[in-house]
Amino acid sequence: MRQFSLLSRTAGAAFMTPAGVLIGAFVIAPFFWVIYVSFTNRTLLGRTALNPEFVGLANYISLFDAGSFFTRGEFGFSLILTVQFVLFSALIGQAVLGMLLAWMLQSVPKSLKRLTEMVVIAAWILPEVVIAFAWFAFLDYDDGTLNMIMDALGLPRGDWLLSFPFWVIVVFNTWRGTAFSMMLFNSAFSSIPPSYFQAADVAGASSWQKFRDIGLPLIRGHVVTDLILITMWTFNVFTPFLLTAGGPSYRTEILPIYTYRVAFRDFEFGKGAAVGVIVMLINLVFALFYLWVARKRTAKVVA
């Protein structure tokens, strides 16, 4: 087949150049810079700020030091915390809740469906800082909305951010991200011919049977895509920092916050860069897996 193009090669290249330069300067160069820094003992202040030395794998070795690996505030603790965070807030929270909402939306009047979509999407498009502040105000001990509700119901007040910091960021991230899964599943369900469900209705299937036997198997590909994407996003999310700043005492210090603390609060650039590289490798695995699944799906559609 002949390829038709809107622009000549030269014109196309000219249009690409500004973006190329920016991406080169701010994405690709730092990428290699971080890898380089992770092998040095570069810091912000002191002798090593001016003359960083090449330390080989020392930064990596210190991250995986068996003696302190699982100690609070260390890399291993943060990694396990992040895995739990992803498990509860992304896989169980966002995906399951999103699926539940999307499935329920299939059988409600159109107006209610629109309204629900609007509300959920609003939670998704609001700026992170605004949401974080709203949640902070909601959970505040003295004047928070939640404690006022508890008062009104005659229930004891709670210092939520201090007592349950991990569950606070889990609920926060679930609330924040469910919209995406819901919309993705919703459009996936809508792409199934209505007659499939009607035939099941007539045949006598319950809502759960329709979900288990028809809805879920037919959107399996979308589910895998969704799980990979929200896992990646949650793995890299920094917003909980605005609520808890990683505390109290490192109890909500997920990997992005840990990286930030090491590099920009403790000013250990070398060690921070090493964490960055490891996170990058983990993300690479997710991304490759995602691309592999996506390619497999496309191939299936074409065949």
Partner 1 sequence: MASVSFDSVTKRFGDFTAVSNLGITIGDGEFVCLLGPSGCGKTTTLRMIAGLETPSAGRVMIGERDVTFMHPKDRKISMVFQDYALYPHMNLADNIAYPLKVRGESQEKRHARAREVADILKIGQLLERMPSQISGGQQQRTSLARALVYPSDVYLFDEPLSNLDAKLRLEARGFLNHLQRDLGMTAVYVTHDQAEAMALATRIAVMDAGIVVQYAPPLEVYRRPATTFVANFVGNPPMNLLPVEAMISDGALHLKAVGLATAPLRVTRAAAKALESGKSLTLGVRPEHLSLASGGEENTIAGQLFANENMGPEALVTLEREDAARFTARIFTDEMVALEGRVTLGFSSDHIHLFDERGLRLPLDHEED
The contact set with partner 1 (CB under 8 A) reads 193, 195-196, 198-206, 209, 213-214, 217-218
Listed residue (131, 103, 133, 129) closest to 116, CA to CA: 103
What burial class does residue 254 get, using C-beta atoms within 10 Å of its C-beta: 0-12 exposed, 13-18 middle, 19+ buried?
buried
* Dihedral Cα 94, 96, 101, 103, nearest 10 deg: 140
**Cβ proximity to partner 1, 15 vs 196, nearer residue:** 196
Q: What's the closest the beta carbon of residue 297 comes to partner 1, in angstroms? A: 14
**Cβ proximity to partner 1, 57 vs 199, nearer residue:** 199
**Cβ proximity to partner 1, 6 vs 299, nearer residue:** 299
**Cβ proximity to partner 1, 71 vs 298, nearer residue:** 298
Listed residue (19, 23, 15, 22) closest to 6, CA to CA: 15
Radius of gyration of the chain (CA): 24
Contact 43, 270 (CB under 8 A): yes
**Cβ proximity to partner 1, 153 vs 202, nearer residue:** 202
**Helix 110-125 to helix 97-105 angle, to the nearest 10 degrees?**
150
Q: What's the closest the beta carbon of residue 80 comes to partner 1, in angstroms? A: 37
Q: What's the closest the beta carbon of residue 205 comes to partner 1, in angstroms? A: 4
Q: What's the closest the beta carbon of residue 250 comes to partner 1, in angstroms? A: 47
Q: What's the closest the beta carbon of residue 114 comes to partner 1, in angstroms? A: 16
